[in-house]
Chains A and B, each alone.
Chain A
Amino acid sequence: MIAAGTNTKAEVAALRRARPKSPFLRTTAIVIVAFTTYAWFSGEIEVGALFRARRLENLERFVTRDIVPFPLREQGLSVGGAVDWAGGLMREQGWKAMLATLWISVLAIALAGAFALVIMPLASGSLMTREPYLLRDGTRGVEGRAWRALVLATRFGLIFLRAIPEYAWAFVFLAMLGPTAWVAVLALAIHNGGILGRLYGDTVENLEVRPLRSLRMLGATRRQISAVALLPLGLPRMLLYFFYRFETCVREATVLGLLGVISLGYFIQEARARQFYDEMLLLVALGVVIVLIGDLVSYAARAWTRRA
């Protein structure tokens, strides 16, 4: 080993030359670095302007005055005063807004899950062939290509649903339906339906083929296979995804209120419009609390189903 020491440099160089290279990865890296550099130097991101004197004055006023609870600005700091102020705000808006936000996300994710369960077989490329699980080339011929087209159309529809942000959906529904909770529920359900539909489709595509094949050999229809095999076999995975998306739903439900639906965001927006920044920050903190509650529920539910 030591005798070979003189050659180490050359050996390392040879190893380096022989390492696996991928032009695709290299191009990706170059594109990312180049575009990021362009982004920072395009003049679009005004880093310097943030530190101009007027903005800093703004910031100082915001931190030293605006966010101090209103009754404490004159009285001076007191715990009792702060508690009274926070309690009043909770009674008037806080509890109501938190509950509404939670219920919106619960209903939305349940609708999204139901939709995804219905669409799941259609998004499964292994079920939707001429002869599922029995043929190697199930997408050949006119019939095979028709099945393939069905899967691709479903998958494209799902991309369409999830590529439009829930905020944009809510913006549109608000104009159509007026300020009901449906606006937020539908927006979240549609976006997450697109996401869960794709994930559920992937899940049943990746299931073990043998039990499904034997069902088919016994003459089960596609619908029967979906109901008695795909659903129960895929369920553990699907529930995991379901609760992961529930966490996101809670976050987004808070924010959709900024548009005018009665969730936490609505009261945050209102406080901002009236420049009651003390109230605004307390409401944002409530948002943190319900996000943590959502994460906790999701964590507990995932642990519970995993042990099943």
Chain B
Amino acid sequence: MAERHGRMRPPSPLGRRGATLLTIVAAAALAWWALDLSLAQLVPGAGGAQIASEFFAGALRPALTYQGDWIPPGSPPFLVTVLVALGKTLVFAAAAMSLALVFGLPLGVLASDAWWRRRPRWTRTLQVAVRTGIALQRSVHELLWAVIFLAALGLNTFAAVVAIALPYAGTLAKVFSEMLDEAPRNTAEALRSVGARPLEAFLYGLLPRAVPDLAAYAFYRFECSVRSSAVLGFFGYPTLGYHLALSFTNLHYREVWTYLYALIATSVVLEAWSAALRRRLVA
């Protein structure tokens, strides 16, 4: 009887998922209390309300020309400024992403189990070292890398690119290593069985099977790096964030929305592109 009970326990009314949901709600309530929040703080003061209404009104009529009375002589038309800022945002993102790929792919290979299979045990210490390095790279946000580089080197655009590339290389390496481990192994094993060396089997058998996944994921990360590059502008680099912050402090909210819409449009295009790429590569 006891044994039957143990095996055929009726499903508990709550269950693990229910318990998880309850824990989330409780943690949120605790956070509310710990942060000392009140709903009253959500009502902006007089100045804040003014900003809020003007800002959100600007969403419906983004600026097509500069706002404000004084425009520095010799400035290009507003929409050209927007396009140039967008172009620089993409330039930073592309440079950072290419750097991240150059480092992320070999690190991903070294972090994967697929690479170290059938190699002497002790060489695995290198795998552990690589995985630790990747985790550290990833756990410092790109903006914090940027702040550190600003302190150590001053304002330099290459340093900004490296700041994005460091955590992105870590993330790419982590996900790449997982994808390499999940890639179908039969081709590589077939090559091994007809006498290919491990390196050859890896390069010609395993890697090609994983490439579609790797490429699709790398493109998705490019989307993310565009947003990161835009935000770096808040620190003085000439990307979208710089212009956004400048227009916002000058109270030119309609200009802010033009920059935001430029970013949103880029996101939409890249997302559609990414989806089309994924359909052709992965499905």
Contact = CB atoms under 8 A, between A and B. Distances in A.
Interface of A: 22, 24-25, 28, 32, 35-36, 38-40, 42, 44-47, 49-50, 55, 58-59, 62-63, 66, 99-100, 103-104, 106-107, 110-111, 113, 159-160, 162-165, 167-168, 171-172, 175-178, 180-182, 185, 235-236, 239, 242, 251-252, 254-255, 258, 265, 268-269, 272, 275, 277, 280-281, 284, 287-288, 291-292, 295, 301, 304-305, 307-308
Interface string B139-165: 111011001101111101111010000
Contact of A107 (B32, B248, B267): B32
Contact of A251 (B17, B94, B141, B281): B141
A182 to B, nearest CB: 6
Interface stretch (B22-30, B119-127, B185-193): B22-30
8 contacts: A40-B95, A63-B152, A168-B244, A171-B244, A175-B48, A177-B44, A258-B147, A288-B139
Interface of chain B: mostly helix, strand, loop or mixed: helix
A49 B160 CA distance: 13
A176 B264 contact: no
Contact of A165 (B25, B52, B231, B268): B231
Nearest to B270: A163
Contacts of B158: 45-47, 49-50
A277 B241 contact: no
B280 interface: yes
Contact of A172 (B230, B241, B248): B248
A176 B141 contact: no
Given A163-B267, A251-B141, A254-B141, A168 B281 contact: no
B28 A107 contact: yes
Contacts of A280: 147-148, 151
B81 to A, nearest CB: 16
Nearest to B264: A163
A301 B23 CA distance: 11
A66 B141 CA distance: 21
B263 A103 contact: no
Contacts of A165: 227-228, 230-231, 263
A50 B153 contact: yes
A258 B156 CA distance: 19
Contact of A288 (B45, B140, B245): B140
B210 interface: no
Nearest to A191: B227
Contacts of B201: none
B271 A159 contact: yes
Contact of B41 (A62, A182, A304): A182
A180 B52 contact: no
B15 A176 contact: no
A107 B238 CA distance: 33
The CB with the most chain B CB atoms within 10 A, among A103, A181, A236, is that of A103
Contacts of A167: 143, 231, 234, 241
A191 B280 CA distance: 29
B267 A159 contact: yes
Nearest to A184: B35
A176 B52 contact: yes
Given A103-B31, A255-B143, A288-B136, A301 B42 contact: no
Contacts of B7: none
A44 B35 CA distance: 42
Interface string B5-43: 000000000011100100011011011101111000110
Contact of A106 (B31, B45, B143): B31
A8 to B, nearest CB: 15
B273 interface: yes
Given A62-B153, A167-B231, A239-B17, 4 more contacts: A55-B154, A107-B35, A159-B268, A176-B48
Interface stretch (B70-78, B85-93, B108-116): B85-93
Contacts of B248: 171-172, 175
A62 B264 CA distance: 38
Contacts of A159: 264, 267-268, 271
A254 B231 contact: no
B67 interface: no
Query: When A and B form their complex, which 5 residue pairs have the shortest distance between CB atoms, in order from nearest?
Result: A308-B16, A110-B28, A163-B267, A107-B31, A103-B31
A25 B277 contact: yes
Contacts of A258: 143, 147
B277 A28 contact: yes
B260 interface: yes
A107 B90 CA distance: 33
